[in-house]
Each structure stands twice: as C-alpha cells, then as structure tokens.
Amino acid sequence: MTFAERVDAVVTLGFSHRHATFLTLVLLNGGYFVRRQYCAFAGVKKGMTDFVVVRRLLSHRLARAVSYSAQHGHVYRLCGRPLYAAADLDYPLTRGEPSQALVARRLMLLDFVVTEPNLEWYTTPKDKCDLFAGRLGLPETLFPRKTRKTTTQFWPEDLPVFLLGQPPQVQFVCLATDAHASGVGAFVRQHAALLQQLSGWTLHVVAPRGSVVDGACEKAYERALHATVLSPAPDADREWFERMRARVDAGDLSDVPIADLRRYRELATRIGNGVKTRAAGPLVVHVLRRSYINFGPFAGVV
C-alpha cells in the first residue's frame, strides 16, 4: 500500500486530506505526536486549527492523551483500530505506555519526517522489504535483523527510509542522542552488509539540540566506515591484492613473506572474493530545534 493510498483510506474516516496526511505520517512513525508537530507540518500557529484534529481524535476514541511532564503538556497516542486498519498497519499490541525515552525517540523522528511530508516514506518492515527485495532486488540475508528463539524480525530499529534524486537513491535515517553520537556507528555496523551492495546512498543523522558534541557524528561515521568493508581500498592495494590472489589460487606461496600473507588476509576482509567494495555514501546531520530534556536525561536512548 503506497503512502497516497494510506492517506486516501484515512480520509474515509472523516478527516480532511491535510489531517489524514499528518495522521498517516504519525501512524508510520511510532504513533505519537504533539500539537506543535501538526502546526509545523501544516504551517499554522498553535490554536484552534491544530485543536480541531486533536478534538476529533479524542472524541472518537482514536487517540488518547498521555502526560509525561506537567510543564510541557500532553503527548497524543493514536490508538484507534480503524486508523491502523485504514492504513493497512498492524495494531500495536502493547500493555501500558512505553518509556519516556522511547516516546522521545519517536517524536524526534517525526520532527524530521514532517519537514518532508511529500516524500515516499518507507517505515514498516514490510515496506522496507518490498523496497529493497522487490524494487532493488537485494536478498533478505542482507537486511538488519533481530532473532529471538525461532522468530526473526527484520528492520528492528523502526527507522524511516526514503528515496531522493534521479535516479532515486536510498536515504537512510538514524538518531544520535548522546555526546559521541554512538547511534551513528551502531547504524553502520548493523546495516554494513546492505550498504555495501547499494550503488548510492546517503545517511541522514537526526540529533536533538545540544545532545551531540560538534563533529561527533562525522567522527563516529568515519570510525564505523573504517571498521567495516565500506571504505574502498586504494587502487595500489587493490592491484597488489589481485596479483597476490592469483598466486594464492595457484598455490605459489613458497617464497611469499609472512608480512605479505598478513597483508593479503587484511585486504581480503575489505575487498572480498571478487566483490567490488562500494564507496561510502555522504553524511548529512540535521540538528533539531528542541532538546527533549523534558523526557529525562536519557531521552531517545533505548
């Protein structure tokens, strides 16, 4: 189901197209929002305009208000089964409310997503599998996953993906919520097998105001690339590796120094068996206007 089809389906529940577009974005990105996010999406000031959609949601029991801080108002959670059914999404079967940190994380992602509401967002595991396996022809063995006993969950991080450019290139999104931007390195490590097979991609890092030290995202990215096969080997190393591989395949190792064999093994982990290493994609850092400190000192950390 495309994003436009989901919006049209939500419209049938009695919402305007603008309200339905916003609600679809919320449904696809964790199900939580605050009123200021609708104002940012719609380009309106806080007042009756944003209260209309909230009042309708509450009166029809499609959402409920959750208070995490008396000083910062309510967070609204979409909980109506008709909304999820219309958008062809599984209803989240959870007991109670998630932690403040997890809610903050979802609000951070939504703050970024609402700045580009007209993009085709891929947020659910099914949508991402359809994109990478169906459209891009990549095997599921490359997808990040989490295995529990006999159950395997693809794309466990719930991070959005979008396409941009001509031809369209994959744009990944991750969060950086601590001073050293550890989320950047974790993302690269978890997605390394997939990133290596893409001809072009970009990583967008979303960081709350004041949470990350200047330059930390770039440094974390460089460290993660260096630790994976994503940094291409220099041409001289590649040429040497190809010559040495011919000798290894022929078994001609009688006069090869130990140091050369070590170098060969090191390059083999970066270059692989004839698989050309992809160049790393660019990094774009987006600093949000808010700090989310009202959600506690560990906001966004899960």
Q: What is the DSSP string of the chain?
A: --HHHHHHHHHTTT--HHHHHHHHHHHHTTSEE-HHHHHHHHT--SSHHHHHHHHHHHHTTSEEEEES-TTS-EEEEE--HHHHHHTT------SSPPPHHHHHHHHHHHHHHTTSTTS-EE-SHHHHHIIIIIIS---GGGS-EEEETTEEEESTT---EEEETTTTEEEEEEE--STT-HHHHHHHHHHHHHHHH-SSEEEEEEE-TTSS-TTHHHHHHHHHHHHSTTSPPPHHHHHHHHHHHHHHHHT--TT--HHHHHHHHHHHHHH-SSPPPPPPPPEEEEE-S---GGG-TTTT--
Domain span at residue 262 reads 235-271
Is the domain of 11 the same as that of 68?
Answer: yes
Q: Which of 69, 94, 119 is the last residue of a domain?
A: 94
- Answer yes or no: do 242 and 219 share one domain: no
If pLDDT is split at 50, 70 and 90, which confidence band does 67 have? confident
**225 plus 154 within the same structural domain:** yes
**59 — pLDDT class (breaks 50, 70, 90):** very high
Q: Is the same domain home to 200 and 251? A: no
Residues 75 and 149 grouped into a single domain: no
Is the pLDDT confidence value at 233 over 60? no
Task: Please give the mean pLDDT across all residues of the chain.
Answer: 85
297 in the same domain as 164: yes
User: Same domain for 59 and 200?
Assistant: no
**7, pLDDT greater than 60:** yes
**pLDDT value, residue 230:** 65
Domain count, the chain: 3
Same domain, 173 and 295: yes
pLDDT, tens digit, 9 for 90 and up, residues 190-212: 998 898 888 889 999 999 998 88
- Global pTM? 0.79
The domain boundary residue, chosen from 63, 94, 125? 94
Q: What is the structure's pLDDT at 151?
A: 81
Are residue 124 and residue 166 in the same domain, yes or no?
yes
Q: Are residues 155 and 292 in the same domain?
A: yes
Let me know whether 150 and 283 are in one domain: yes
Q: Which of 94, 126, 154 is the last residue of a domain?
A: 94
What pLDDT shows up at residue 32? 94
**163 in the same domain as 90:** no
